[in-house]
Structure 1
Amino acid sequence: MKILTHSHPRSGWIVVVGLAVVLCISFGTTLNALSVFAPPIMQAFQCSNEQVARLATVFLLTMTLAMPAAGWLLDRVSPRPIMTGGAILTAIGYLIAAHSPDITVLTVALGVAGVGVGASTYVPAIMLSSHWIAPNRQGLAFGILLAGAAVGAIIFPMLVTHATNAFGWRYAMETIGMFVALTCVPLLLWVARMPATRATAHAATPDASLLDGHDIAEALRMPRYWLWIAMMLLITLSSLGVYIALVPYLMSTGYSAEHAAAIYAAVGASAFVGNFLFGALSNRWGAKTVLLIGTTASAGGILCLLAAHDRALGMAAIALFSLIWGSTFNLANQLSPLLLAESMGQRNFGSLLGIGNLVSGVGSAFSPEALGYLVDATHTYTIALVLCAALMAVALVPIFLLRVTPVREVAA
């Protein structure tokens, strides 16, 4: 595969670190903290598990719908207005949510925030980093981005839990809105920019003839693209179901809100280590091999969680879950862009990444609500967690079948 040489590596890594901070704050205060808000919101509005889970579903759905639009725009225009505007929408959504009179308004407000997060975080950050960093270093770059998100998962759920317990969930949401506005917006005004020349990377509107790959319509007809999407859908269905339900599940087994948030933080710490470890391994073994290993481990980690209620094995099971599942559950988000580039080429990369995340994200957005329905219907989390482990195991099939061509850096 022909790849353009990237230069000015120092500037590129500064951009990556800046974007990692944005992901830390944006994901840490929103997606990573949704589970923390579930119990107090359920009590405040006297609603069911399914209704509260719908908050996460709407947030994930709108976030997912914003991703392909952001990817398509980033293939054509400057990233600064797109990503900065997304951060502003996130702040507005949480400020409205803080003053919601009922569950309906709260759901709509979190939907607005979801659009903002989708336009300012994962797909735009991956796309922008791929313009700055050479292909043979992108596994590490994407690991740094997701390590930023992992740091957010360590820090913010516990802070949000303390703020909610001390001042109420409305105060916590209002604080999140103000914090995003005062940090992510100015940071994105600085780092959300393309390289100055095509010698450093692909320009904002590159000549498609310079890039290997396929037209969007052609790519949509290729089985390997749909294998990639199937992989993402299965893994995301499993991961989101477990992630959003983790705090309520732990509290149902007797853990306090503070202890559940601490376990949440331990998962984030494992993810932080895993991002660097598996990013380095992908440079040596390839993204496909590492993802096969990580997905297998992740399925096993979910099964460990089933023993959380056991008096003798509970703490050991939680520790294994935090270590194994925590270090691997986010691996698809880190390595799937590399698999996409290796299987489909760099042409229309942003659009294809966004479309793939749209298809897989729309399907997986209903995972929290479906899990909540199963819990309400069966009065246990066991069936839902076993189903999540099975989905993760089935994802091994499309990963194995996906044909890839390893990327390499070409001298200028």
Structure 2
Amino acid sequence: MPDPSARRLWTAVLVCFVALAAAFSARATLGLVLPTWVGVFGWSRTGISAIGAATLVVMAGVAPLAGRLVDRFGPRVALGAGLSCVAIGCAIVAGAPDGTVLVLGFAGIAALGFGMVATHVVSTAIVQIAQRRRGLALGVATSGATAGQFVILPLAAWVISDLDWRWGFALLAGLALVLVPLLWRLLPPGRFGAARTAPAGLRRDVTELLRAPAFHALFWSFLLCGYTTAGIIEVHLLPYAALCGFAPLPSATAYGVLSAVNLAGMITAGWLADRVNRPALLAGIYLLRAASFLLLLQVGTSYDRLIVFAAAFGMVDYATVPVTASLVASRLGVGRMGLAMGVISSGHAVGAALGAFLGGALSDRFGSYAAVWWSGFALSLLAGWIVLPLLLSDRRPAGSPAPTAAH
């Protein structure tokens, strides 16, 4: 007879996976429409890039609030509200009469949704419900962040190229809207499992987080994670490939390889988090990421080397997410995990914004991306060093249930 608790867990994993796939695909569509908007609205690429930066700022601001929301009311409310914002924002973009309304729709309302339908909210939901195989469940659920690039994003790209960019955003709005009642039906109401006890006051929780050495290790390492992934790689890898002489199609193919391996890397990291020492695993991921930047520095005009880098980096790209979430649960407590992951995810967004900006500034200053990739190498090493002190105090068996509050 099927285990009801296992069925409940994997239903939540599936719902969270699909929600992340929809939200991350909608966010990534900005890159698809960038050339079109340059022509339609007469904007510069810098101006459109500013829309992406503004989106990250809104996401950074809403992340702790979304985390607190899931702590108090459960993931159904947070994810449902987030998908509703994504649907409304994309619908506004689809029907925008001018650029001002378009920016409001994407960098305003949709960005609120991106900040709520995020890996930290999903991680909190899964940790609340999973008592066994927590790492694997985290890895599968959060891998939805990259999985949408294989189905939803290509579909949106086809609609944009064959019909119009407005129809592309209408498609994304419809998808997000359809998911809201589905999510509401499949996810149980309220907080899950150990988190059913109401969280303590916000001021007390924030004070205790700031006093915890583990919080600072995870916050600052995840900030550097944002710089080295969403900041310099997601924004600057394709322009770098163009400078190396690769055409758009092979460059996009290399990025597709990175995304495919990224999906496998997240699930593998989650599986390992149930079986090995988690601080050592997280430090190892950062060290392997540093090594991958050395491969990127050697690409030159060799497409084979670009593919090798894409595969190597993809394995450690988002792999930090399930491991970091598992450590937050065990070291800071499930009862305030949403708040903790929200603040830590804000750091990731800040790091990403810095990476996106400094990546462009350094490449303009030196005429190449070498300094950018060296910064990625150095900061990945630093992130690995920051989490090493957790090795001295993480004595729980890998994948063991976390306490409801940190002591």
- The answer for the alignment partner of 2:376 in structure 1 is 388
Indicate whether 1:330 and 2:318 are aligned: yes
Is the CA contact 1:86–1:118 (under 8 Å) kept in the aligned structure 2?
yes
Is the CA contact 2:94–2:166 (under 8 Å) kept in the aligned structure 1?
yes
- The answer for the alignment partner of 1:109 in structure 2 is 105
Residues 121-200 of structure 1 aligned to structure 2 (within 5 Å): 121-134=118-131, 136-182=132-178, 184-194=179-189
- The answer for the alignment partner of 1:216 in structure 2 is 206
Is the CA contact 2:19–2:83 (under 8 Å) kept in the aligned structure 1?
no
| Structure 1 residue 194: Cα displacement | 4.7
Is the CA contact 1:295–1:329 (under 8 Å) kept in the aligned structure 2?
no
Name the CA distance, whole Å, in 1 between partners of 2:384 and 2:195: 35
- The answer for the alignment partner of 2:6 in structure 1 is 9
> 1:21-56 CA distances to partner (integer Å, 9 max, x unpaired)?
11122213324x443333433444444443332222
Higher relative contact order (CA 8 A, sep 6+): 1
Is the CA contact 2:328–2:341 (under 8 Å) kept in the aligned structure 1?
yes
Indicate whether 1:227 and 2:244 are aligned: no
> 1:81-105 CA distances to partner (integer Å, 9 max, x unpaired)?
3321211111221222234466554
| Structure 1 residue 77: Cα displacement | 1.8
Name the CA distance, whole Å, in 2 between partners of 1:39 and 1:102: 17
Residues 7-406 of structure 1 aligned to structure 2 (within 5 Å): 8-31=5-28, 33-100=29-96, 104-111=100-107, 112-134=109-131, 136-182=132-178, 184-194=179-189, 201-206=193-198, 215-241=205-231, 242-310=233-301, 314-402=302-390, 403-406=393-396
> 1:277-334 CA distances to partner (integer Å, 9 max, x unpaired)?
2222222212212222221222222333344441xxx222122122111111102212
Q: How many residues align?
A: 391
CA shift in 2, pair 1:195/1:104, >3 Å: closer
Matched letter for residue 117 of structure 2: S
| Structure 1 residue 185: Cα displacement | 1.6
| Structure 1 residue 20: Cα displacement | 0.9
TM-score w.r.t. length of structure 2? 0.86
> 3-state DSSP class of the match of 1:330?
coil
Is the CA contact 1:27–1:149 (under 8 Å) kept in the aligned structure 2?
yes
Q: Percent identity?
A: 24
Name the CA distance, whole Å, in 2 between partners of 1:380 and 1:46: 28
Matched letter for residue 176 of structure 1: L
Is the CA contact 2:265–2:315 (under 8 Å) kept in the aligned structure 1?
yes
Name the CA distance, whole Å, in 2 between partners of 1:220 and 1:374: 33
Name the CA distance, whole Å, in 2 between partners of 1:308 and 1:382: 11
CA shift in 2, pair 1:9/1:191, >3 Å: same
Name the CA distance, whole Å, in 2 between partners of 1:59 and 1:167: 26
Name the CA distance, whole Å, in 2 between partners of 1:154 and 1:129: 23
Is the CA contact 2:124–2:334 (under 8 Å) kept in the aligned structure 1?
no
Name the CA distance, whole Å, in 2 between partners of 1:100 and 1:149: 27
CA shift in 2, pair 1:102/1:395, >3 Å: farther
- The answer for the alignment partner of 1:3 in structure 2 is none
| Structure 1 residue 366: Cα displacement | 3.8
Is the CA contact 2:87–2:173 (under 8 Å) kept in the aligned structure 1?
yes
Matched letter for residue 348 of structure 1: R
Name the CA distance, whole Å, in 2 between partners of 1:25 and 1:110: 15
CA shift in 2, pair 1:301/1:47, >3 Å: farther
Name the CA distance, whole Å, in 2 between partners of 1:113 and 1:120: 10
> 3-state DSSP class of the match of 2:274?
helix
CA shift in 2, pair 1:305/1:160, >3 Å: farther
> 1:223-274 CA distances to partner (integer Å, 9 max, x unpaired)?
3311211001011111012112233333444444433333222112101111
- Provide runs of 4+ in structure 1 moved above 6 Å: none
Name the CA distance, whole Å, in 2 between partners of 1:40 and 1:105: 17
Name the CA distance, whole Å, in 2 between partners of 1:303 and 1:153: 26
Is the CA contact 2:287–2:384 (under 8 Å) kept in the aligned structure 1?
yes
Is the CA contact 2:16–2:122 (under 8 Å) kept in the aligned structure 1?
yes
Between 47-56 and 116-125, report the one with greater CA deviation.
Answer: 47-56
- The answer for the alignment partner of 2:405 in structure 1 is none
CA shift in 2, pair 1:176/1:248, >3 Å: farther
> 1:339-377 CA distances to partner (integer Å, 9 max, x unpaired)?
112322334222122122223423433432332344444
Matched letter for residue 68 of structure 1: P
Between 222-231 and 34-43, report the one with greater CA deviation.
Answer: 34-43
CA shift in 2, pair 1:259/1:38, >3 Å: farther
CA shift in 2, pair 1:368/1:63, >3 Å: same
CA shift in 2, pair 1:230/1:409, >3 Å: closer
Matched letter for residue 8 of structure 2: S
Name the CA distance, whole Å, in 1 between partners of 2:170 and 2:247: 24
Is the CA contact 1:215–1:348 (under 8 Å) kept in the aligned structure 2?
yes
